[in-house]
Structure 1
Amino acid sequence: MLPGNDPFSGPPLNPLKLAPPGEIGPGVERSAIAATWAGSRAAVTLVCAPAGFGKTTAMRQLLVAARQHGVPAAWLNLDSADNDLGRITPYLWAALHTALPSLGEAPSTGQWIDASRGLPGGSARQLLDVLSRVETPFVLFVDEFELVKDSSVLSLFSELAFSLGPGQRLVLGSRHKPGLPLGRLRVQQRLLEIDAPMLRFSAGEVRDYITGCRGIGMADADLGELQARTEGWPAALQLAASALAGRADSRAWLQQLSGTSGNLAEYLAEDVLSRLSEPHRRFVLRSSIFEAFCPQLCDAAFGSADSADWIAQSVSDNLFLLPIEAEGDWYRYHPLFRQFLRAQLSRTAAQELAGLHVRAANWLASTARYAQAIAHASAAGDTALSADLLERCGMDYVRGGQMALVVQWADTLPHAELERRPAVLAATAYAMVFLHRYAAAERLLGALEKHPGASHEEDVTVLRVMLSAWLDRMDDAVLAARMALAGAEPASPFVSGLLHNAVAYGDMLQGRFVPARHALLQAKRELESVNAIYGLTYSACIEGMIDMLQGNVRDGLARFSAMLNRIIASGQRYTSSGPVACTLLAEALYELGDSAAADALLSEYLPLIRDTCLPDHLIVAHRLVARIAWLGGDSGKALEQLNTLQELGDARGIARLGMAAAVDRSRLALLAGDVSSARHALTLAASLAPPSGTLMRYSDDLDDLEIASFRIALVAPDEEADVERVEAALRLAESSGRARRAVRLAWLLAQAHHAAGRSAQAQIWLERALAQAQAWQAQRILADEPWHLQPLLASLARGSMSSIRGTLSG
């Protein structure tokens, strides 16, 4: 059962990811690299070289140097699961918090529905916002950055790189050039690159390492030969030192070295491994199944009690084993050595692997390390165990915003295994909805509904309403909400509030504003009792939308502004609450003539709007951005926004998004004087229209097929506007309480009569539209339909309409 009222911060973080590697014994000081870094003012340092070049060691030395100079420094190890904005952001926040306690901890997700903050980068945006106010110098080290492929995660690091202030630095360790805007960073002199040639050991560093650090006696000529054979490759030198330890025939051994770097590493690793005792070799091989390990984990997986002794022996033998600076005795192998060991293990003990992984998974799950546990269960091919683990933790990861990870795990399960577990179905369905994979979510929801019992009934209810609303099937969403409220079992306050909001939304779309406001009162009572900001945002915004439909734009502005301020004050600025209030506040500002303020809001929130808002809000937001761009003379940006809206509709299977984009493209074509293109766009829009009988949507109030076709008739020389049809539409708008729509239609009627030479009728409708618009101080409701604007305004006598006439003329 999904709890609806308890704050939740997501699954526990793995402290090993926040710990830099430790150091065993003395190491070679990379003084040249340290001096280069200390002398640079670049905000971003890229330490980029193939495996085994000592990137991590060099970064650790820079970390120590920074701390010695009093600069706060943090460390983050990445893994392949970090290609998920919902997962990487809490780790980034936690890492930075260790260096900057004043930053504060990452805010909890609050109500579970706000888990979507992790999907579009809500908490990521909040982190960048908080960091922008930090003036303290700091250094963030991020290792194994080559694992990052996801565009949204790369975008987060790009924004971080360009937002760093004086003394604030980002150091990235990667095996290859990452997908960041390196060219732009170079041009702006914000990038320092430390590459493979810089990381190779010089002759002096080889001497310091072999004779000084490892205590191996070698003649200068032999040291020179070793440096030449390994080309200063640190990994090969470390393996060579392990192989040379205790040998009296170092020169003879040295003559055997040959081959490319990859073959050399394998040869050296084999030589090192062959010198171990059988029990020690067995431990080393089996422990290679872990990314990181401690004695307790090894004992549980191997069924032994001597793992601590073998770890100590491995440390003593310098077996490429690095301690991790975290609580407990945790270690990891150098990636090259681990890769070699795992290949050896697969060849020599493949039959053991499944059992090792299963026992490891069980121990990790017992310590709530579910991500690692599921990885081992999957490696064992034990789908039942994977499903058991996902059943226990799936909703925790959904609440924490790690939707992609939940879906990734669910995708590994056989269909039958997935369908027999309602908890896994529910978690995966929520994740699919938030990822906008609606068809998959519907299939999962259908399977979930076949499971009897009350343990997941609220999940079914909420998922059904959410899915229908996001798919733009508001009729279905409202019906599901009404049926749930009429059920025998009362819903929790949180869910009840959401259901009353859905009913109110449906009443609003039908023009039943009084019942809608009554439903909103009930919703607010329920939601205030649990301080559910997400649900309360919708309650306030639906009230404001009713104000807007009735023409009370300033009342709507006040509601939207107050709600956004409350969201920000509660620390939820970039949750899925903020984009809803922002979209509608921007619309009110735009209608009142403050396009600059509307544009600033939308610029900040548009990515979040795309990922968290209903279709109505998507349409309003993209339409506003397009219109503001057009007013600013940027027709390319305007069309780009409408194309994006259409692409969203295509990707999510929501035809009305494409319809709205085509309607506004038709309008832009008319403004450019291209009637033919306007007609073509309108034809496309008509082909995407929803079935007749569906509820009229909020975003259709001022711009729909009816108004779009009337626009063309006003401009096209071969067409005359159907005045009677528009008058009928106006009467319908008035009877349903849609005063704002009625004013726009009156304005268009005035232009139609003027174009037909009916001056008296034009004057009547003109004064009516202007009077109402002036009372509301709503400028764009008229200015966005300028087809016969100037001659109409010229016909007005000077007087009470002069102020709005002057505004529209400007």
Structure 2
Amino acid sequence: RMRLLSRWFAAMPASLLRRHPYPQVLGFWATCFTRGPWEAAQQIAASSCVRSEDPRVQAHLAAMRPLLLAMQDRYQEAYVAGLASLQEVPASSSFARSVLFNAMANIFCVLGNAREAHRQLDGARASRGDGNFNRMYTESMEGILDLLAGRLRHAKARFRVAVDATHVVNFNHAHGNAWAGVLYACVAYEADQLDRAEHLLNVYLPMAREVGLPDHMILSHVMRARISFVAGDVDRALHALAELEDIGYTRKLLRVAVAARLERARLLLQQGSGPAAQEELQRAAMPDIWARERAQRLLAHDLDYLELAQLRWTLAFGDAASAVAPLTRELEMARLGGRNRRAVKIQLLRAMAQHAAGQLEAAMDSIAQVLRVCGQEGLVRTVLDEGPSAAALVRQFAQGRSNARTASTDPIMEDHLDRLLQAFGPAPAPLDDGSGSPAPESLTAKEIRVLELLAEGYSNSAMAGKLFVSDSTVRTHLRNLNLKLGASSRTHAVALARKRGLIG
């Protein structure tokens, strides 16, 4: 409906709108929510509305000021403008006042004041601007606060209500607003409902990109990249990140471009490319961006920020034991700030560091706490996204309970543990000592290339496309590789090839 309204205003003669400031200012709202805050700000600056004596016009402009600044990723300026606007917008302007309360709730949330954010949301509900549009924003903001606090189930319920608030309820939840739609995709992704998340992203990612919401653009492109990588479509994953980086530079949103680099480093880490991942991390290390992230609570960086990415790299390619102490400090900071979702991720990484460093008792205690919380809230991708190292830790925890025949006192955790084990798949076969392994020349050049693509995460169909061969030819290469290497699976083949120096 906002898009329809925007088209109507675009069809009106500019000379007619200039004579009627009140309809003109309503058109600014439509522009803001469909084509983004920059275009809306340009329209306001080019109009004479700021000089209008109509109190309704001034109320709408006052409500827009902090909202536009927040949407432009200028939260500190938005906070200052918003405090002034709260004094200027009268209760009689119910729509403007409700939008202002919702905008201020978002600003207070980013600045770390959850209590005041909730108070602003209460104000939005009480302002009688409680149409479906404002209801969508209010429920979305409540969901964001729940998500940051680690209450995934509450957040999912909020986002589902929000995404259906602006349209007739339907099975796919695909006719809502981009603000709520991307958030609903986030909780679907976290629950490992990748098909649903992909469907929602197909609908809402283009909208989020058009409006230009920084955190929504980051979240949606990163999710698309991860879903593509899980499916073995590495090229599509890299394209999503290249697109995100380009958007960041084109729209002068450096945080967006840096987020693309950070996620690219993570993808390279999963491919086993330590030097390349480190180079991307160095390119992403922009002090101003990450100092600001430390001071604010930006949803896109709740789990993905520079310090944690650097510690993840240390776990994979450096001295894992040296990561335990800084991860403990990060965990304490997250808990003190009430950032429970972040705390779960950090505690998982600390458990992985303890496991890699041989601190088995501490690692088992840590992973038990992580799995308990994950089971309660349905957190799945938080664990799965950490890959083989997390899988090894979870398997050892499960094996320890099985060997000890520990009676379960937490059936929810046990069910969740089974779900994770199923998602990780069977453990790779143990590596032999390399005796009797074939010399590198016993593998053909094409088989070496298949191994390289396999190590990078490509699926059979994606490899076929890269090599210009059929799927059946790829399957033949894989069977030959397993026979020559003595491998029992794809991951086993890659591990053996790396151990024998056949691939990097």
| TM-score greater than 0.5 by the shorter chain | yes
- Which letter does structure 1 place at the counterpart of 2:273? D
Q: Is the 8 A contact 1:747 1:782 kept in 2?
A: yes
- Which letter does structure 1 place at the counterpart of 2:41? A
Q: Is the 8 A contact 2:71 2:214 kept in 1?
A: yes
Residues 1:541 and 1:506: Cα distance change in structure 2 (over 3 Å): same
- Distance in 2 (CA, whole Å) between partners of 1:459 and 1:522 is 17
Residues 1:775 and 1:580: Cα distance change in structure 2 (over 3 Å): same
Q: Is the 8 A contact 1:433 1:467 kept in 2?
A: no
**Which residue in the other structure is 1:778 paired with?**
379
- Distance in 2 (CA, whole Å) between partners of 1:431 and 1:369 is 9
1:622 to partner: Cα distance: 1.2
User: Are residue 762 (structure 1) and residue 363 (structure 2) matched?
Assistant: yes
Q: Is the 8 A contact 2:182 2:201 kept in 1?
A: yes
Residues 1:656 and 1:446: Cα distance change in structure 2 (over 3 Å): farther
**Which residue in the other structure is 1:292 paired with?**
none
**Which residue in the other structure is 2:18 paired with?**
391
Q: Is the 8 A contact 1:497 1:524 kept in 2?
A: yes
**Which residue in the other structure is 1:612 paired with?**
211
Residues 1:461 and 1:691: Cα distance change in structure 2 (over 3 Å): farther
**Which residue in the other structure is 1:345 paired with?**
none
- Distance in 2 (CA, whole Å) between partners of 1:775 and 1:585 is 19
User: Are residue 509 (structure 1) and residue 116 (structure 2) matched?
Assistant: no
- Distance in 2 (CA, whole Å) between partners of 1:680 and 1:654 is 21
Q: Identity rate of aligned residues, in percent?
A: 27
**Which residue in the other structure is 1:728 paired with?**
329
Q: Is the 8 A contact 1:715 1:787 kept in 2?
A: no
**Which residue in the other structure is 2:433 paired with?**
none
1:491 to partner: Cα distance: 6.1
**Which residue in the other structure is 2:202 paired with?**
603
- Which letter does structure 1 place at the counterpart of 2:384? A
CA RMSD of aligned residues (A): 3.3
- Distance in 2 (CA, whole Å) between partners of 1:393 and 1:448 is 10
- Distance in 2 (CA, whole Å) between partners of 1:369 and 1:514 is 40
1 or 2, which has the higher strand percentage?
1
Partner residue of 1:803 out of 401, 418, 424: 418
- Distance in 1 (CA, whole Å) between partners of 2:393 and 2:75 is 40
- Distance in 1 (CA, whole Å) between partners of 2:106 and 2:10 is 42
Q: Deviations over 1:135-160 (max 9, x none)?
A: xxxxxxxxxxxxxxxxxxxxxxxxxx
**Which residue in the other structure is 1:441 paired with?**
41
Partner residue of 1:711 out of 294, 312, 327: 312
Gaps of 5+ in 1: 1-108, 124-367, 375-386, 401-426
Return 608-617 or 491-500, whichever deviates more.
608-617
Q: Where does 1:147-162 land on structure 2 (aligned, <5 Å)?
A: none
SS in 1 for 2:166: helix
- Which letter does structure 2 place at the counterpart of 1:767? A
**Which residue in the other structure is 2:476 paired with?**
none
* TM-score normalised by L of structure 2: 0.72
Residues 1:530 and 1:115: Cα distance change in structure 2 (over 3 Å): farther
**Which residue in the other structure is 1:89 paired with?**
none
SS in 2 for 1:673: coil
1:648 to partner: Cα distance: 1.7
Residues 1:115 and 1:808: Cα distance change in structure 2 (over 3 Å): closer
Residues 1:447 and 1:803: Cα distance change in structure 2 (over 3 Å): same
- Distance in 1 (CA, whole Å) between partners of 2:197 and 2:89 is 45
Residues 1:388 and 1:452: Cα distance change in structure 2 (over 3 Å): closer
Q: Is the 8 A contact 1:659 1:689 kept in 2?
A: no
Q: Is the 8 A contact 2:264 2:280 kept in 1?
A: yes
1:736 to partner: Cα distance: 1.6
Gaps of 5+ in 2: 409-413, 426-504
SS in 1 for 2:183: helix
- Distance in 2 (CA, whole Å) between partners of 1:770 and 1:808 is 14
**Which residue in the other structure is 2:155 paired with?**
556
Q: Is the 8 A contact 1:564 1:581 kept in 2?
A: yes
**Which residue in the other structure is 1:642 paired with?**
241
Residues 1:719 and 1:395: Cα distance change in structure 2 (over 3 Å): farther
**Which residue in the other structure is 1:211 paired with?**
none
Q: Is the 8 A contact 1:553 1:778 kept in 2?
A: yes
Residues 1:449 and 1:117: Cα distance change in structure 2 (over 3 Å): closer
Q: Is the 8 A contact 1:511 1:737 kept in 2?
A: no
- Distance in 1 (CA, whole Å) between partners of 2:90 and 2:126 is 19
**Which residue in the other structure is 2:452 paired with?**
none
- Distance in 1 (CA, whole Å) between partners of 2:42 and 2:6 is 22
User: Are residue 519 (structure 1) and residue 120 (structure 2) matched?
Assistant: yes
- Which letter does structure 2 place at the counterpart of 1:781? T
- Distance in 2 (CA, whole Å) between partners of 1:786 and 1:758 is 20
- Distance in 1 (CA, whole Å) between partners of 2:169 and 2:384 is 37
- Distance in 2 (CA, whole Å) between partners of 1:452 and 1:688 is 43
Residues 1:430 and 1:651: Cα distance change in structure 2 (over 3 Å): farther
Q: Deviations over 1:65-111 (max 9, x none)?
A: xxxxxxxxxxxxxxxxxxxxxxxxxxxxxxxxxxxxxxxxxxxx4xx
* Count of matched residue positions in the alignment of Structure 1 and Structure 2: 406
- Distance in 1 (CA, whole Å) between partners of 2:3 and 2:31 is 10
User: Are residue 486 (structure 1) and residue 94 (structure 2) matched?
Assistant: no
- Distance in 2 (CA, whole Å) between partners of 1:627 and 1:554 is 22
Q: Is the 8 A contact 2:149 2:338 kept in 1?
A: yes
1:468 to partner: Cα distance: 0.9
- Distance in 2 (CA, whole Å) between partners of 1:680 and 1:394 is 53
- Which letter does structure 1 place at the counterpart of 2:325? E
**Which residue in the other structure is 1:589 paired with?**
188
Q: Deviations over 1:499-544 (max 9, x none)?
A: 1112222332344333322221211222xx3443222111101111
Q: Where does 1:530-541 land on structure 2 (aligned, <5 Å)?
A: 530-541=129-140
SS in 2 for 1:690: helix
1:752 to partner: Cα distance: 1.0
- Which letter does structure 2 place at the counterpart of 1:642? L
Q: Is the 8 A contact 1:626 1:641 kept in 2?
A: yes
**Which residue in the other structure is 1:4 paired with?**
none
Q: Is the 8 A contact 2:244 2:256 kept in 1?
A: yes
Which is higher, the Rg of structure 1 or of structure 2?
A: 1
Q: Is the 8 A contact 1:669 1:675 kept in 2?
A: yes
Residues 1:507 and 1:431: Cα distance change in structure 2 (over 3 Å): closer
Q: Is the 8 A contact 1:667 1:678 kept in 2?
A: yes
- Distance in 2 (CA, whole Å) between partners of 1:606 and 1:647 is 15
- Which letter does structure 2 place at the counterpart of 1:391? R
Q: Where does 1:171-250 land on structure 2 (aligned, <5 Å)?
A: none
- Distance in 1 (CA, whole Å) between partners of 2:45 and 2:320 is 50
Q: Deviations over 1:653-682 (max 9, x none)?
A: 111111111111111010111112212222
- Distance in 2 (CA, whole Å) between partners of 1:804 and 1:792 is 15
SS in 2 for 1:486: helix
* TM-score normalised by L of structure 1: 0.46
Residues 1:688 and 1:780: Cα distance change in structure 2 (over 3 Å): same
1:790 to partner: Cα distance: 3.4
Q: Is the 8 A contact 1:582 1:601 kept in 2?
A: yes
- Distance in 1 (CA, whole Å) between partners of 2:134 and 2:205 is 20
- Distance in 1 (CA, whole Å) between partners of 2:361 and 2:48 is 64
**Which residue in the other structure is 2:264 paired with?**
665
Q: Where does 1:371-382 land on structure 2 (aligned, <5 Å)?
A: none
- Distance in 2 (CA, whole Å) between partners of 1:497 and 1:707 is 37
- Distance in 2 (CA, whole Å) between partners of 1:484 and 1:460 is 9
Q: Where does 1:99-118 land on structure 2 (aligned, <5 Å)?
A: 109=1, 114-115=2-3, 118=6
- Distance in 2 (CA, whole Å) between partners of 1:486 and 1:524 is 18
SS in 2 for 1:569: coil
- Distance in 2 (CA, whole Å) between partners of 1:611 and 1:598 is 19
**Which residue in the other structure is 1:793 paired with?**
394
- Distance in 2 (CA, whole Å) between partners of 1:503 and 1:396 is 25
Q: Deviations over 1:599-618 (max 9, x none)?
A: 11111222112123621112
